[in-house]
A and B are shown apart, each in its own frame.
Chain A
Protein backbone atom coordinates (compact mmCIF):
# COMPACT_ATOMS: atom_id res chain seq x y z
CA UNK A 1 0.00 0.00 0.00
CA UNK A 2 1.00 3.61 -0.05
CA UNK A 3 3.24 3.81 2.90
CA UNK A 4 4.10 7.45 2.91
CA UNK A 5 1.65 10.21 2.45
CA UNK A 6 1.68 12.12 -0.76
CA UNK A 7 -1.53 14.13 -0.56
CA UNK A 8 -3.84 12.66 -3.13
CA UNK A 9 -4.33 14.48 -6.40
CA UNK A 10 -1.86 17.26 -5.76
CA UNK A 11 -0.57 17.44 -9.27
CA UNK A 12 -0.35 14.71 -11.83
CA UNK A 13 2.42 16.21 -13.86
CA UNK A 14 5.11 18.76 -13.50
CA UNK A 15 4.67 19.93 -17.07
CA UNK A 16 4.71 23.70 -17.04
CA UNK A 17 1.58 23.97 -19.12
CA UNK A 18 -0.28 27.20 -18.57
CA UNK A 19 -1.06 30.48 -20.25
CA UNK A 20 1.41 32.16 -17.93
CA UNK A 21 4.57 32.40 -19.97
CA UNK A 22 5.86 35.39 -18.03
CA UNK A 23 8.31 33.23 -15.99
CA UNK A 24 9.87 32.23 -19.32
CA UNK A 25 10.48 35.74 -20.61
CA UNK A 26 14.24 35.60 -20.02
CA UNK A 27 14.57 32.18 -21.60
CA UNK A 28 12.51 33.24 -24.64
CA UNK A 29 14.58 36.39 -25.11
CA UNK A 30 17.87 34.58 -24.67
CA UNK A 31 16.94 31.72 -26.98
CA UNK A 32 15.75 34.23 -29.59
CA UNK A 33 19.00 36.14 -29.33
CA UNK A 34 21.04 32.90 -29.48
CA UNK A 35 19.24 31.77 -32.64
CA UNK A 36 19.67 35.20 -34.17
CA UNK A 37 23.37 35.13 -33.44
CA UNK A 38 23.70 31.57 -34.70
CA UNK A 39 21.84 32.44 -37.92
CA UNK A 40 24.12 35.39 -38.50
CA UNK A 41 27.28 33.32 -37.86
CA UNK A 42 26.40 30.81 -40.54
CA UNK A 43 28.00 32.81 -43.35
CA UNK A 44 30.70 35.37 -43.98
CA UNK A 45 28.45 38.38 -44.39
CA UNK A 46 26.58 37.62 -41.19
CA UNK A 47 24.12 40.29 -40.14
CA UNK A 48 24.80 42.13 -43.40
CA UNK A 49 22.44 39.61 -44.99
CA UNK A 50 19.50 41.03 -43.09
CA UNK A 51 20.28 44.31 -44.90
CA UNK A 52 21.15 42.80 -48.28
CA UNK A 53 18.12 40.55 -48.47
CA UNK A 54 15.48 43.30 -48.69
CA UNK A 55 17.72 45.33 -51.03
CA UNK A 56 18.15 42.43 -53.45
CA UNK A 57 14.46 41.57 -53.29
CA UNK A 58 13.51 45.17 -53.94
CA UNK A 59 15.85 45.24 -56.93
CA UNK A 60 14.29 42.07 -58.39
CA UNK A 61 10.68 43.22 -58.03
CA UNK A 62 11.53 46.70 -59.25
CA UNK A 63 13.09 45.15 -62.36
CA UNK A 64 10.07 42.96 -63.08
CA UNK A 65 7.22 45.26 -62.11
CA UNK A 66 8.78 48.71 -62.31
CA UNK A 67 10.83 48.33 -65.47
CA UNK A 68 9.46 45.46 -67.57
CA UNK A 69 5.81 46.01 -66.68
CA UNK A 70 6.24 49.79 -66.70
CA UNK A 71 4.63 50.40 -63.34
CA UNK A 72 7.53 52.53 -62.14
CA UNK A 73 5.65 55.35 -60.45
CA UNK A 74 7.87 57.81 -58.54
CA UNK A 75 6.95 56.30 -55.16
CA UNK A 76 7.27 52.70 -56.34
CA UNK A 77 10.66 51.91 -54.75
CA UNK A 78 9.79 53.04 -51.18
CA UNK A 79 6.36 51.42 -51.65
CA UNK A 80 8.09 48.16 -52.59
CA UNK A 81 10.68 48.33 -49.78
CA UNK A 82 7.99 48.91 -47.14
CA UNK A 83 5.99 45.96 -48.44
CA UNK A 84 8.96 43.63 -48.71
CA UNK A 85 10.32 44.36 -45.25
CA UNK A 86 6.89 44.15 -43.63
CA UNK A 87 6.11 40.91 -45.43
CA UNK A 88 9.43 39.19 -44.72
CA UNK A 89 8.99 39.72 -41.00
CA UNK A 90 5.69 37.85 -41.25
CA UNK A 91 7.22 35.20 -43.50
CA UNK A 92 10.30 34.56 -41.31
CA UNK A 93 8.25 34.55 -38.13
CA UNK A 94 5.61 32.12 -39.36
CA UNK A 95 8.07 29.75 -41.06
CA UNK A 96 10.31 29.62 -37.98
CA UNK A 97 7.54 29.70 -35.40
CA UNK A 98 5.25 27.12 -36.96
CA UNK A 99 7.95 24.46 -37.09
CA UNK A 100 9.49 25.33 -33.73
CA UNK A 101 7.84 22.69 -31.54
CA UNK A 102 8.35 19.99 -34.15
CA UNK A 103 12.01 20.83 -34.62
CA UNK A 104 12.78 21.00 -30.90
CA UNK A 105 12.35 17.27 -30.25
CA UNK A 106 15.60 16.95 -28.44
CA UNK A 107 14.71 19.67 -25.95
CA UNK A 108 11.09 18.61 -25.62
CA UNK A 109 12.13 15.14 -24.59
CA UNK A 110 14.28 16.41 -21.77
CA UNK A 111 12.71 19.42 -20.13
CA UNK A 112 9.14 20.05 -19.08
CA UNK A 113 9.19 23.77 -19.89
CA UNK A 114 6.19 25.45 -21.49
CA UNK A 115 6.17 24.40 -25.14
CA UNK A 116 5.04 27.85 -26.26
CA UNK A 117 8.61 29.00 -25.55
CA UNK A 118 9.79 27.51 -28.82
CA UNK A 119 7.44 29.22 -31.32
CA UNK A 120 7.57 32.49 -29.40
CA UNK A 121 11.37 32.63 -29.35
CA UNK A 122 11.46 31.94 -33.11
CA UNK A 123 9.00 34.78 -33.69
CA UNK A 124 11.23 37.08 -31.69
CA UNK A 125 14.29 35.96 -33.67
CA UNK A 126 12.42 37.04 -36.81
CA UNK A 127 11.65 40.32 -35.07
CA UNK A 128 15.36 40.96 -34.43
CA UNK A 129 16.04 40.44 -38.14
CA UNK A 130 13.16 42.77 -38.97
CA UNK A 131 14.70 45.33 -36.62
CA UNK A 132 17.91 45.19 -38.62
CA UNK A 133 16.16 45.55 -41.94
CA UNK A 134 14.47 48.73 -40.68
CA UNK A 135 17.80 50.43 -41.46
CA UNK A 136 17.16 49.68 -45.14
CA UNK A 137 13.58 50.88 -44.86
CA UNK A 138 14.47 54.24 -43.33
CA UNK A 139 17.42 54.56 -45.73
CA UNK A 140 15.20 54.03 -48.77
CA UNK A 141 12.57 56.45 -47.45
CA UNK A 142 15.14 59.18 -46.86
CA UNK A 143 16.80 58.65 -50.25
CA UNK A 144 13.42 58.99 -51.97
CA UNK A 145 12.63 62.17 -50.09
CA UNK A 146 10.28 60.89 -47.40
CA UNK A 147 11.38 62.67 -44.26
CA UNK A 148 10.24 61.80 -40.75
CA UNK A 149 6.85 63.24 -39.82
CA UNK A 150 4.76 62.94 -36.66
CA UNK A 151 2.92 60.13 -38.46
CA UNK A 152 6.04 58.01 -38.10
CA UNK A 153 5.32 57.84 -34.37
CA UNK A 154 2.43 55.52 -35.19
CA UNK A 155 4.83 52.97 -36.64
CA UNK A 156 5.23 51.02 -33.37
CA UNK A 157 1.45 50.61 -33.10
CA UNK A 158 1.27 48.90 -36.48
CA UNK A 159 4.32 46.83 -35.61
CA UNK A 160 2.62 45.60 -32.43
CA UNK A 161 -0.41 44.51 -34.47
CA UNK A 162 1.76 42.68 -36.99
CA UNK A 163 3.74 41.04 -34.17
CA UNK A 164 0.50 39.83 -32.62
CA UNK A 165 -0.59 38.37 -35.97
CA UNK A 166 2.72 36.57 -36.46
CA UNK A 167 2.73 35.18 -32.93
CA UNK A 168 -0.91 34.07 -33.18
CA UNK A 169 -0.50 32.26 -36.51
CA UNK A 170 2.78 30.70 -35.34
CA UNK A 171 1.33 29.42 -32.06
CA UNK A 172 -1.68 27.88 -33.78
CA UNK A 173 0.37 26.18 -36.49
CA UNK A 174 3.14 25.12 -34.10
CA UNK A 175 0.60 23.35 -31.90
CA UNK A 176 -0.56 21.03 -34.69
CA UNK A 177 2.47 20.60 -36.97
CA UNK A 178 3.97 17.81 -34.77
CA UNK A 179 0.81 15.79 -35.34
CA UNK A 180 0.44 16.65 -39.03
CA UNK A 181 4.04 17.05 -40.21
CA UNK A 182 2.84 17.33 -43.82
CA UNK A 183 1.50 20.72 -42.84
CA UNK A 184 5.04 22.08 -42.63
CA UNK A 185 5.57 21.21 -46.31
CA UNK A 186 2.36 23.00 -47.17
CA UNK A 187 3.07 26.19 -45.21
CA UNK A 188 5.69 27.61 -47.65
CA UNK A 189 3.18 27.33 -50.53
CA UNK A 190 0.51 29.07 -48.50
CA UNK A 191 2.98 31.81 -47.63
CA UNK A 192 4.05 32.23 -51.26
CA UNK A 193 0.42 32.69 -52.21
CA UNK A 194 0.07 35.11 -49.32
CA UNK A 195 3.06 37.06 -50.63
CA UNK A 196 1.44 37.55 -54.04
CA UNK A 197 -1.89 38.49 -52.47
CA UNK A 198 -0.54 41.07 -50.00
CA UNK A 199 0.03 44.09 -52.25
CA UNK A 200 3.79 43.85 -51.80
CA UNK A 201 4.75 44.64 -55.42
CA UNK A 202 1.57 46.16 -56.76
CA UNK A 203 -1.01 48.65 -55.55
CA UNK A 204 -4.55 47.87 -54.60
CA UNK A 205 -5.90 50.56 -56.94
CA UNK A 206 -4.29 48.89 -59.98
CA UNK A 207 -6.84 46.10 -59.64
CA UNK A 208 -10.52 45.73 -60.44
CA UNK A 209 -13.00 46.57 -57.64
CA UNK A 210 -13.91 42.89 -57.43
CA UNK A 211 -10.29 41.82 -56.93
CA UNK A 212 -9.83 44.63 -54.42
CA UNK A 213 -12.76 43.34 -52.41
CA UNK A 214 -11.24 39.87 -52.13
CA UNK A 215 -7.73 41.11 -51.43
CA UNK A 216 -9.02 43.18 -48.54
CA UNK A 217 -9.88 39.93 -46.78
CA UNK A 218 -6.15 39.39 -46.37
CA UNK A 219 -4.95 40.92 -43.08
CA UNK A 220 -1.46 41.56 -44.43
CA UNK A 221 -2.86 43.94 -47.11
CA UNK A 222 -4.07 46.18 -44.29
CA UNK A 223 -0.87 45.85 -42.26
CA UNK A 224 1.40 46.72 -45.20
CA UNK A 225 -0.83 49.58 -46.39
CA UNK A 226 -0.95 50.96 -42.85
CA UNK A 227 2.87 51.12 -42.82
CA UNK A 228 2.78 53.00 -46.12
CA UNK A 229 0.05 55.35 -44.88
CA UNK A 230 2.05 56.54 -41.91
CA UNK A 231 5.52 56.41 -43.49
CA UNK A 232 4.82 57.76 -46.96
CA UNK A 233 1.39 59.33 -47.29
CA UNK A 234 0.97 61.15 -43.96
CA UNK A 235 -2.31 59.37 -43.39
CA UNK A 236 -3.76 57.57 -40.41
CA UNK A 237 -3.96 53.81 -40.63
CA UNK A 238 -7.42 52.23 -40.63
CA UNK A 239 -7.84 52.12 -36.87
CA UNK A 240 -10.93 49.97 -37.03
CA UNK A 241 -9.28 47.37 -39.19
CA UNK A 242 -6.12 47.32 -37.05
CA UNK A 243 -8.19 46.95 -33.87
CA UNK A 244 -10.13 44.11 -35.49
CA UNK A 245 -6.90 42.38 -36.51
CA UNK A 246 -5.48 42.73 -33.01
CA UNK A 247 -8.64 41.21 -31.54
CA UNK A 248 -8.54 38.36 -34.06
CA UNK A 249 -4.88 37.77 -33.21
CA UNK A 250 -5.77 37.49 -29.52
CA UNK A 251 -8.45 34.91 -30.30
CA UNK A 252 -6.27 32.87 -32.66
CA UNK A 253 -3.24 33.14 -30.35
CA UNK A 254 -5.28 32.03 -27.34
CA UNK A 255 -6.59 29.08 -29.36
CA UNK A 256 -3.01 28.17 -30.27
CA UNK A 257 -1.86 28.47 -26.67
CA UNK A 258 -4.84 26.43 -25.51
CA UNK A 259 -3.96 23.68 -27.96
CA UNK A 260 -0.31 23.72 -26.94
CA UNK A 261 -1.29 23.40 -23.27
CA UNK A 262 -3.71 20.56 -24.00
CA UNK A 263 -1.19 18.69 -26.12
CA UNK A 264 1.93 19.43 -24.01
CA UNK A 265 2.23 15.90 -22.65
CA UNK A 266 1.87 14.35 -26.11
CA UNK A 267 4.52 16.17 -28.15
CA UNK A 268 7.53 14.24 -26.83
CA UNK A 269 5.66 11.00 -27.41
CA UNK A 270 4.35 11.89 -30.83
CA UNK A 271 7.64 13.11 -32.22
CA UNK A 272 9.56 10.06 -31.07
CA UNK A 273 7.80 7.80 -33.54
Chain B
Protein backbone atom coordinates (compact mmCIF):
# COMPACT_ATOMS: atom_id res chain seq x y z
CA UNK B 1 0.00 0.00 0.00
CA UNK B 2 0.98 3.57 -0.50
CA UNK B 3 1.15 5.31 2.82
CA UNK B 4 1.14 8.89 1.85
CA UNK B 5 0.14 10.18 -1.52
CA UNK B 6 0.21 13.89 -1.62
CA UNK B 7 -1.94 15.28 -4.34
CA UNK B 8 -1.73 18.85 -3.18
CA UNK B 9 1.16 20.48 -1.41
CA UNK B 10 0.80 20.56 2.31
CA UNK B 11 -2.15 18.20 2.50
CA UNK B 12 -0.40 15.44 4.37
CA UNK B 13 2.72 15.76 6.33
CA UNK B 14 4.53 12.50 6.64
CA UNK B 15 5.09 9.17 5.10
CA UNK B 16 3.66 6.82 7.65
CA UNK B 17 5.27 3.53 8.18
CA UNK B 18 3.10 0.57 8.78
CA UNK B 19 5.07 -2.28 10.22
CA UNK B 20 7.69 -1.83 12.88
CA UNK B 21 11.45 -2.06 12.64
CA UNK B 22 14.10 0.00 14.30
CA UNK B 23 14.40 3.48 12.79
CA UNK B 24 18.01 4.49 12.29
CA UNK B 25 17.30 7.88 10.85
CA UNK B 26 14.28 10.12 10.60
CA UNK B 27 13.60 13.09 8.37
CA UNK B 28 11.04 15.40 9.89
CA UNK B 29 9.64 18.15 7.71
CA UNK B 30 12.98 18.72 6.02
CA UNK B 31 13.29 21.66 3.61
CA UNK B 32 16.23 23.01 1.73
CA UNK B 33 16.49 26.03 -0.52
CA UNK B 34 19.21 27.23 -2.84
CA UNK B 35 19.81 30.87 -3.60
CA UNK B 36 20.08 31.36 -7.33
CA UNK B 37 21.98 34.31 -8.62
CA UNK B 38 19.80 36.77 -10.51
CA UNK B 39 22.10 39.51 -11.66
CA UNK B 40 24.30 41.66 -9.43
CA UNK B 41 23.54 41.07 -5.75
CA UNK B 42 20.06 39.83 -6.63
CA UNK B 43 19.11 36.36 -5.57
CA UNK B 44 16.13 34.13 -5.93
CA UNK B 45 15.21 31.45 -3.42
CA UNK B 46 14.54 28.08 -4.96
CA UNK B 47 13.25 25.19 -2.90
CA UNK B 48 14.95 21.91 -3.75
CA UNK B 49 13.11 20.08 -0.97
CA UNK B 50 9.97 21.03 0.87
CA UNK B 51 8.66 19.38 4.01
CA UNK B 52 10.07 15.91 3.40
CA UNK B 53 9.48 13.30 6.09
CA UNK B 54 10.21 9.61 6.31
CA UNK B 55 11.97 7.02 8.42
CA UNK B 56 14.81 4.82 7.43
CA UNK B 57 14.83 1.54 9.32
CA UNK B 58 17.55 -0.99 9.87
CA UNK B 59 17.78 -3.41 6.95
CA UNK B 60 15.75 -1.16 4.66
CA UNK B 61 16.64 -0.70 1.02
CA UNK B 62 14.96 2.55 0.22
CA UNK B 63 14.67 3.64 -3.39
CA UNK B 64 14.31 7.35 -4.04
CA UNK B 65 12.85 8.03 -7.46
CA UNK B 66 11.84 11.14 -9.33
CA UNK B 67 12.66 13.02 -12.48
CA UNK B 68 15.78 15.11 -12.95
CA UNK B 69 15.73 18.12 -10.67
CA UNK B 70 13.18 16.64 -8.31
CA UNK B 71 15.56 16.96 -5.36
CA UNK B 72 16.85 13.37 -5.16
CA UNK B 73 20.54 14.22 -5.00
CA UNK B 74 19.92 17.04 -2.55
CA UNK B 75 18.05 14.61 -0.33
CA UNK B 76 20.95 12.18 -0.44
CA UNK B 77 23.43 14.91 0.47
CA UNK B 78 21.29 15.92 3.42
CA UNK B 79 21.19 12.36 4.70
CA UNK B 80 24.95 12.12 4.15
CA UNK B 81 25.27 15.22 6.33
CA UNK B 82 27.29 17.32 3.91
CA UNK B 83 24.58 19.97 4.01
CA UNK B 84 22.25 20.99 6.82
CA UNK B 85 18.55 21.53 6.14
CA UNK B 86 17.02 25.01 6.20
CA UNK B 87 13.91 23.70 7.87
CA UNK B 88 12.94 20.60 9.79
CA UNK B 89 15.41 18.16 11.23
CA UNK B 90 17.22 14.96 10.51
CA UNK B 91 17.43 12.79 13.58
CA UNK B 92 19.80 9.89 13.71
CA UNK B 93 21.08 7.44 16.23
CA UNK B 94 24.28 8.58 17.88
CA UNK B 95 27.46 7.23 16.33
CA UNK B 96 25.69 6.11 13.17
CA UNK B 97 28.01 6.01 10.16
CA UNK B 98 26.33 7.30 7.03
CA UNK B 99 28.30 7.38 3.78
CA UNK B 100 27.77 8.23 0.16
CA UNK B 101 29.21 5.69 -2.23
CA UNK B 102 31.64 8.20 -3.72
CA UNK B 103 33.69 7.04 -6.66
CA UNK B 104 37.18 8.39 -7.33
CA UNK B 105 36.89 10.63 -4.29
CA UNK B 106 39.87 12.98 -4.06
CA UNK B 107 41.80 11.23 -6.83
CA UNK B 108 44.94 13.07 -7.95
CA UNK B 109 46.29 12.41 -11.47
CA UNK B 110 49.95 12.64 -10.51
CA UNK B 111 49.80 9.96 -7.84
CA UNK B 112 49.88 6.20 -8.38
CA UNK B 113 46.83 3.98 -8.12
CA UNK B 114 47.99 2.69 -4.73
CA UNK B 115 48.54 6.19 -3.33
CA UNK B 116 45.15 7.29 -4.63
CA UNK B 117 43.45 4.26 -3.13
CA UNK B 118 44.89 5.21 0.27
CA UNK B 119 43.93 8.87 -0.09
CA UNK B 120 40.43 8.10 -1.32
CA UNK B 121 39.89 5.50 1.38
CA UNK B 122 41.01 7.92 4.08
CA UNK B 123 38.57 10.54 2.83
CA UNK B 124 35.86 7.89 3.03
CA UNK B 125 36.77 7.38 6.66
CA UNK B 126 39.01 4.31 6.58
CA UNK B 127 42.42 4.22 8.18
CA UNK B 128 45.57 3.81 6.13
CA UNK B 129 46.08 0.38 7.72
CA UNK B 130 42.58 -0.78 6.76
CA UNK B 131 43.09 0.20 3.14
CA UNK B 132 46.51 -1.40 2.92
CA UNK B 133 45.05 -4.59 4.37
CA UNK B 134 42.50 -4.66 1.58
CA UNK B 135 44.73 -3.48 -1.22
CA UNK B 136 44.96 -6.97 -2.80
CA UNK B 137 41.19 -7.42 -3.21
CA UNK B 138 41.05 -3.85 -4.52
CA UNK B 139 43.70 -4.53 -7.16
CA UNK B 140 42.02 -7.77 -8.09
CA UNK B 141 38.52 -6.35 -8.30
CA UNK B 142 39.70 -3.37 -10.33
CA UNK B 143 41.75 -5.68 -12.60
CA UNK B 144 44.75 -3.37 -12.34
CA UNK B 145 47.64 -5.77 -11.73
CA UNK B 146 50.98 -4.02 -12.11
CA UNK B 147 49.25 -0.77 -13.03
CA UNK B 148 48.47 -0.14 -9.36
CA UNK B 149 51.90 1.50 -9.01
CA UNK B 150 51.60 3.62 -12.16
CA UNK B 151 50.41 7.22 -12.00
CA UNK B 152 46.68 7.68 -12.44
CA UNK B 153 47.34 9.95 -15.40
CA UNK B 154 48.38 6.88 -17.38
CA UNK B 155 45.07 5.07 -16.67
CA UNK B 156 42.26 4.69 -19.16
CA UNK B 157 38.94 6.10 -17.99
CA UNK B 158 37.76 2.53 -17.46
CA UNK B 159 40.70 1.71 -15.19
CA UNK B 160 40.09 4.88 -13.21
CA UNK B 161 36.44 4.03 -12.81
CA UNK B 162 37.24 0.47 -11.74
CA UNK B 163 39.72 1.61 -9.12
CA UNK B 164 37.24 4.22 -7.88
CA UNK B 165 34.55 1.62 -7.46
CA UNK B 166 36.83 -0.98 -5.89
CA UNK B 167 37.98 1.49 -3.22
CA UNK B 168 34.55 2.94 -2.47
CA UNK B 169 33.08 -0.52 -2.19
CA UNK B 170 35.42 -1.43 0.68
CA UNK B 171 33.48 0.95 2.86
CA UNK B 172 30.94 -0.64 5.15
CA UNK B 173 28.87 2.08 6.83
CA UNK B 174 25.63 1.63 8.80
CA UNK B 175 23.76 3.42 6.03
CA UNK B 176 25.08 3.37 2.49
CA UNK B 177 23.85 6.06 0.11
CA UNK B 178 24.05 5.34 -3.62
CA UNK B 179 23.41 7.97 -6.27
CA UNK B 180 22.95 6.06 -9.51
CA UNK B 181 26.66 5.75 -10.07
CA UNK B 182 26.32 2.67 -12.14
CA UNK B 183 27.85 4.12 -15.29
CA UNK B 184 31.10 2.49 -14.22
CA UNK B 185 33.67 1.57 -16.83
CA UNK B 186 32.94 -0.80 -19.70
CA UNK B 187 29.78 -2.87 -20.10
CA UNK B 188 31.31 -5.96 -18.54
CA UNK B 189 32.51 -4.13 -15.42
CA UNK B 190 29.24 -2.25 -15.21
CA UNK B 191 27.45 -5.55 -14.92
CA UNK B 192 29.91 -6.86 -12.35
CA UNK B 193 29.79 -3.72 -10.21
CA UNK B 194 26.02 -3.62 -10.41
CA UNK B 195 25.76 -7.24 -9.34
CA UNK B 196 27.96 -6.78 -6.24
CA UNK B 197 26.00 -3.66 -5.41
CA UNK B 198 22.74 -5.54 -5.78
CA UNK B 199 24.05 -8.21 -3.46
CA UNK B 200 24.89 -5.57 -0.89
CA UNK B 201 21.57 -3.74 -1.27
CA UNK B 202 19.55 -6.95 -0.98
CA UNK B 203 21.36 -8.36 2.03
CA UNK B 204 19.15 -8.14 5.05
CA UNK B 205 21.57 -6.51 7.44
CA UNK B 206 22.62 -3.57 5.31
CA UNK B 207 20.66 -0.36 5.15
CA UNK B 208 20.77 1.40 1.83
CA UNK B 209 19.30 4.46 0.16
CA UNK B 210 19.40 4.21 -3.60
CA UNK B 211 18.62 7.20 -5.81
CA UNK B 212 17.54 6.74 -9.41
CA UNK B 213 15.38 8.35 -12.05
CA UNK B 214 14.51 4.97 -13.49
CA UNK B 215 11.91 2.75 -11.88
CA UNK B 216 13.52 -0.26 -13.55
CA UNK B 217 16.75 0.18 -11.60
CA UNK B 218 14.91 0.42 -8.31
CA UNK B 219 12.54 -2.48 -8.95
CA UNK B 220 13.64 -5.70 -7.39
CA UNK B 221 16.37 -3.91 -5.49
CA UNK B 222 14.47 -1.93 -2.90
CA UNK B 223 11.73 -2.98 -0.53
CA UNK B 224 10.57 0.56 0.09
CA UNK B 225 10.49 3.63 -2.08
CA UNK B 226 9.97 7.36 -1.89
CA UNK B 227 8.83 9.30 -4.95
CA UNK B 228 9.99 12.88 -5.07
CA UNK B 229 8.31 15.40 -7.33
CA UNK B 230 9.48 19.00 -7.39
CA UNK B 231 11.03 18.61 -3.97
CA UNK B 232 8.02 17.06 -2.31
CA UNK B 233 7.11 13.50 -1.41
CA UNK B 234 4.42 12.39 -3.86
CA UNK B 235 4.29 8.87 -2.52
CA UNK B 236 6.13 6.69 -0.03
CA UNK B 237 5.80 3.11 1.08
CA UNK B 238 6.07 -0.34 -0.44
CA UNK B 239 8.33 -0.05 -3.46
CA UNK B 240 6.08 -1.96 -5.88
CA UNK B 241 3.18 0.41 -5.29
CA UNK B 242 5.25 3.57 -5.38
CA UNK B 243 7.00 2.51 -8.57
CA UNK B 244 3.70 1.69 -10.25
CA UNK B 245 2.30 5.09 -9.34
CA UNK B 246 5.48 6.75 -10.58
CA UNK B 247 5.45 4.90 -13.89
CA UNK B 248 1.75 5.59 -14.41
CA UNK B 249 2.36 9.26 -13.93
CA UNK B 250 5.28 9.19 -16.34
CA UNK B 251 3.36 7.39 -19.11
CA UNK B 252 0.37 9.65 -18.57
CA UNK B 253 2.55 12.71 -18.78
CA UNK B 254 4.29 11.31 -21.84
CA UNK B 255 0.94 10.68 -23.51
CA UNK B 256 -0.23 14.20 -22.70
CA UNK B 257 2.95 15.59 -24.25
CA UNK B 258 2.48 13.61 -27.47
CA UNK B 259 -1.19 14.55 -27.60
CA UNK B 260 -0.61 18.25 -27.19
CA UNK B 261 2.06 18.07 -29.87
CA UNK B 262 -0.33 16.45 -32.30
CA UNK B 263 -3.08 18.91 -31.41
CA UNK B 264 -0.65 21.72 -32.07
CA UNK B 265 -0.40 20.49 -35.69
CA UNK B 266 3.25 19.55 -35.29
CA UNK B 267 4.44 16.66 -37.39
CA UNK B 268 4.93 13.77 -34.97
CA UNK B 269 6.32 10.28 -35.33
CA UNK B 270 4.82 7.58 -33.13
CA UNK B 271 5.39 3.90 -32.67
CA UNK B 272 3.65 1.27 -30.55
CA UNK B 273 5.91 -0.15 -27.86
CA UNK B 274 7.39 -3.45 -29.05
CA UNK B 275 6.41 -2.92 -32.68
CA UNK B 276 8.41 -1.77 -35.67
CA UNK B 277 6.05 0.36 -37.73
CA UNK B 278 6.53 4.08 -37.40
CA UNK B 279 3.55 6.33 -38.11
CA UNK B 280 3.78 9.92 -39.11
CA UNK B 281 0.94 12.00 -37.71
CA UNK B 282 0.32 15.05 -39.80
CA UNK B 283 -2.67 17.18 -40.65
CA UNK B 284 -5.01 14.92 -38.81
CA UNK B 285 -3.90 11.69 -40.48
CA UNK B 286 -2.00 8.63 -39.31
CA UNK B 287 0.30 7.45 -42.08
CA UNK B 288 2.39 4.32 -41.62
CA UNK B 289 5.91 4.70 -43.03
CA UNK B 290 6.75 1.71 -45.21
CA UNK B 291 10.50 1.82 -44.95
CA UNK B 292 13.39 3.40 -43.18
CA UNK B 293 14.17 5.29 -46.36
CA UNK B 294 10.79 6.88 -46.29
CA UNK B 295 11.34 7.89 -42.67
CA UNK B 296 14.66 9.47 -43.60
CA UNK B 297 13.19 11.14 -46.68
CA UNK B 298 10.67 13.04 -44.54
CA UNK B 299 13.64 14.20 -42.46
CA UNK B 300 12.81 12.05 -39.44
CA UNK B 301 15.43 11.35 -36.80
CA UNK B 302 15.32 8.30 -34.51
CA UNK B 303 15.11 10.51 -31.43
CA UNK B 304 11.94 12.13 -32.82
CA UNK B 305 9.96 8.90 -32.52
CA UNK B 306 7.58 8.82 -29.55
CA UNK B 307 6.80 5.39 -28.17
CA UNK B 308 3.30 4.74 -26.85
CA UNK B 309 1.50 1.78 -25.34
CA UNK B 310 -0.99 0.09 -27.71
CA UNK B 311 -3.91 1.40 -25.66
CA UNK B 312 -2.62 4.98 -25.74
CA UNK B 313 -1.85 4.71 -29.41
CA UNK B 314 -5.45 3.77 -30.20
CA UNK B 315 -6.73 6.53 -27.96
CA UNK B 316 -4.60 9.06 -29.79
CA UNK B 317 -5.66 7.76 -33.18
CA UNK B 318 -9.33 8.03 -32.21
CA UNK B 319 -8.86 11.56 -30.94
CA UNK B 320 -7.12 12.59 -34.13
CA UNK B 321 -9.73 11.01 -36.39
CA UNK B 322 -12.55 12.58 -34.42
CA UNK B 323 -10.95 15.98 -34.85
CA UNK B 324 -10.48 15.47 -38.58
CA UNK B 325 -14.08 14.35 -39.02
CA UNK B 326 -15.53 17.35 -37.27
Contact = CB atoms under 8 A, between A and B. Distances in A.
Contacts of A108: 82
Nearest to A112: B81
B93 A10 contact: yes
Given A26-B122, A109-B82, A112-B82, A14 B92 contact: yes
Contacts of A31: 106, 119, 122-123
Contacts of B151: 41
Contact of B98 (A3, A14, A106, A268): A14
A12 B89 contact: yes
| Best-buried of A11, A110, A269 by chain B (most CB within 10 Å) | A110
Contact of A4 (B22, B100, B115): B22
A266 B22 CA distance: 30
Interface stretch (A32-40, A49-57, A156-164, A227-235): A32-40
A110 B115 CA distance: 20
Contacts of B89: 9, 12
B26 to A, nearest CB: 5
Main secondary structure of the interface of A (DSSP, over half): loop
Contacts of B23: 2-6
Contacts of B102: 110-111
B20 A107 contact: no
A219 interface: no
A128 to B, nearest CB: 15
Interface in B20-34: 20-26, 32, 34
| Best-buried of B37, B111, B127 by chain A (most CB within 10 Å) | B111
Given A12-B84, A107-B105, A269-B83, A3 B17 contact: yes
A41 B154 CA distance: 13
Contacts of B238: none
Contacts of A8: 91
B91 A10 contact: yes
Given A26-B127, A27-B122, A4 B20 contact: yes
Interface in A97-119: 106-113
B90 A13 contact: yes
A107 B106 contact: yes
B96 interface: yes
Interface in B71-98: 77, 80-84, 89-94, 96-98
Interface in A258-273: 264-266, 268-269, 272-273
B5 interface: no
B11 interface: no
Contact of A6 (B26, B98, B127): B26
A144 B84 CA distance: 58
Contacts of A67: none
Given A11-B94, A14-B98, A3 B84 contact: no
Interface in B28-80: 32, 34-37, 55, 57, 77, 80
Interface in B123-174: 123-125, 127-128, 151
A10 B83 CA distance: 18
Given A15-B82, A265-B84, 6 more contacts: A3-B16, A3-B17, A3-B18, A3-B55, A14-B98, A266-B84
Interface of B: 14, 16-26, 32, 34-37, 55, 57, 77, 80-84, 89-94, 96-100, 102, 105-106, 108-111, 115, 118-119, 122-125, 127-128, 151
13 contacts: A2-B26, A3-B17, A6-B24, A7-B91, A34-B108, A34-B111, A37-B115, A38-B110, A106-B106, A107-B105, A111-B99, A111-B102, A112-B80
